[in-house]
Amino acid sequence: MELSIEDKLVNIIGITQGNICYRCLGRNFSKNIDGPGNLERGKYLRNQLEESKQNISKTDTCYICNDLFNDLDNMINNVVGVLKDEEIHFSNFLVGSRVDPEILRREEKIHETFDIDVENIKKEINREIGKEISLKLSKEVEFDNPNIVLMVDFHTDTIDIQINPIFIESRYRKLIRGIPQTKWPCNKCKSKGCEKCNYTGKMYTETVEELISEDAIKAANGIGAKFHGAGREDIDVKMLGKGRTFVLEIKEPKFRDINLKKLQETINKHAAGKVEISEMKFVEKNRRAIIKESSRDTYKIYKATVELENEVDNSLLDSLKSIKIINQRTPIRVSHRRADKIRTREIRQIKYKKINPKLLELIIECEGGLYIKELISSDENRSQPSIAGIFKTGAKCVKLDVLDVNI
C-alpha cells in the first residue's frame, strides 16, 4: 500500500535522523506539493512537522547531498570567472554536472524505499546554476543546440567548458591546378615529417582547405577546422563557374560572432590567384551531411582537353552526341581505396571542338560521380562505352576543368 504524503515525510525524516536539507526534502515531494521550488517546498514541509510535533531537527550535513547546495554560489562565481578569463563569447549555454556517485546512490535508495518518482539531484543543480548564470550574464539556457556546455564537477571541484563548433557555408573556385582540396599526409612518413616531404608531413604545401581555414580559425580564435566539400575535384583539375559548395566547421571557437564579410575578404586576399570564395553564411550542423549527399545527384559541366593517338573522322566525332549511359567499374587509380563496383551515370550532352587533328576540346555535361578521365581513356575497358573505344584509338585527358556544378 502506498504511504500518504505525511507518512512518507515522517519516515524520510526518521531514516535521515532529521539530517536532510530543505532542497533534498522538497525535491522528494515535488510531484505532490505545489510550490515555487524545492527550497520553499522543503521549508513548508518542515513547518508542517513542527506543528505536528513530529520534527527531528537537522544537526549534521544532509544525508543525501552532504550540503552540496551550500557550495552552489561559489561554483557559480567560479564559472563566471572562468568564462571571463578565457574570453569566451557566446549567447546561449547549457549546464551539466557531476557529483559524488555516493550522493546519487543515497538519493536512489530513498526513492526506492518510498516509491518516489521525481527528478534527481543533478537536474536541480543544473537548473539552479543555469538560472543564476543566465541572470548574471544575460545569456539564455539552450537545451538542443547550445553554444557552450558548462560541465560543473562537484566531486573533483572542477569546471570544464565545452565550446561547440560553428559551421560556415560558402562556395570555392580553384583557379589553378596542383592544389588538392584537403590536407594530404605524406605517404612516406604518415605526416610525422621526413626528407621526402621536407619535414612538413604533407604531400602538398597548399590545399584549398588550408587556404580557407587558416584565416577562419584565426578570426574565430578556434583550435582547428574541418572542411566538408560537396564532392571534390582531382588535384590537377580546376574548379570554375559558380564554384563548389563547402561547409567549414571551426572547432572550439571563442568568438562566434565573426564578421563574415571581412573574413571573406581576408581569405580572398590571402589566397589570391589560387582560390576564391563567394559570400559566407552561418549554417546549422546538419548542412554538413546535406551538401555531401547532394553532391551525388547534381549535374556537372567539365571542359576536357583530349589527346588522340590517331586522327579521327568527322563522322566518328559526331557519334559522341549519341553517348547517353556510361557503366564504369571503379577506376584503377582509386581502386586501392574504393570498393570495386560498377556504377552507372548519365551524360546529358557532349560538345566537341577540334583544336588540331589530334587534339579535341570537349564540353561534357553529366551526372555527378562520373569519372571523366576514364570516360576518355576507357581505363582498360572499365568504362563502357568510352571515347577511346568509340574512336578505336588511344585517347587521353591532358587537361580538365570543372566549369560548373549543381546545374
Residues 276-315 that bind Zn ion (CB under 5 A): none
DSSP string, 23-92: HHHHHHTTTTS--S-HHHHHHHHHHHHHHHT------SS-TTTTTGGGGHHHHHHHHHHHHHHTT---SE
Q: How many residues bind Zn ion (CB under 5 A)?
A: 11
Phi, psi of 314 (to 5 degrees): -60, -35
Contacts made by residues 183-187, CB under 8 angstroms, sequence distance 24+: 183/207, 183/209, 183/210
Q: Which is nearer to Zn ion, 45 or 395 (CB)?
A: 45
Smallest distance, Å, CB 131 to Zn ion?
18
- The contact pattern for Zn ion, residues 174-213, with x = CB under 5 A and - = no contact, is ------------x-xx----x-xx----------------
Smallest distance, Å, CB 185 to Zn ion?
8
Q: Go through the chain and tell me how many residues it has.
A: 407
Residues 8-27 that bind Zn ion (CB under 5 A): 21, 24
Distance in angstroms (rounded) separating the CA atoms of residues 138 and 122:
23
Catalytically annotated residue among 67, 71, 234, 236: 234
Q: Which is nearer to Zn ion, 168 or 197 (CB)?
A: 197
Smallest distance, Å, CB 187 to Zn ion?
8
Q: Which is nearer to Zn ion, 197 or 280 (CB)?
A: 197
Q: Which is nearer to Zn ion, 196 or 261 (CB)?
A: 196
For the chain, give percent helix, strand, coil, nearest 5. 35, 25, 40
* 8 Å CB contact between 395 and 306: yes
How far from chain centre, in Å, is Cα 60?
Answer: 48
Smallest distance, Å, CB 212 to Zn ion?
24
Q: Which residues, 6 or more positions from 170, have their beta carbon under 8 angstroms from its beta carbon?
A: 245, 246, 248, 264, 277, 278, 279, 280, 281
DSSP string, 93-149: EEEEEE--HHHHHHHHHHHHHTT-----HHHHHHHHHHHHHHHHHT-EE-SSS-SEE
- Within 10 angstroms of residue 105's Cβ, the number of other Cβ atoms is 10
* 8 Å CB contact between 405 and 244: yes
Burial of 353 from C-beta contacts in 10 A (0-12 / 13-18 / 19+): exposed
Smallest distance, Å, CB 181 to Zn ion?
20
Q: Which is nearer to Zn ion, 4 or 187 (CB)?
A: 187
Smallest distance, Å, CB 281 to Zn ion?
37
99 lies in the site for Zn ion, by CB under 5 A:
no
Q: Which is nearer to Zn ion, 21 or 39 (CB)?
A: 21
Smallest distance, Å, CB 79 to Zn ion?
21
Distance in angstroms (rounded) separating the CA atoms of residues 176 and 236:
8
Q: Which is nearer to Zn ion, 64 or 267 (CB)?
A: 64
- The contact pattern for Zn ion, residues 40-79, with x = CB under 5 A and - = no contact, is ----------------------x-xx--------------
234 catalytic, yes or no?
yes
Residues annotated as part of the active site: 234
Binding residues (CB under 5 A) for Zn ion: these are 21, 24, 62, 64-65, 186, 188-189, 194, 196-197
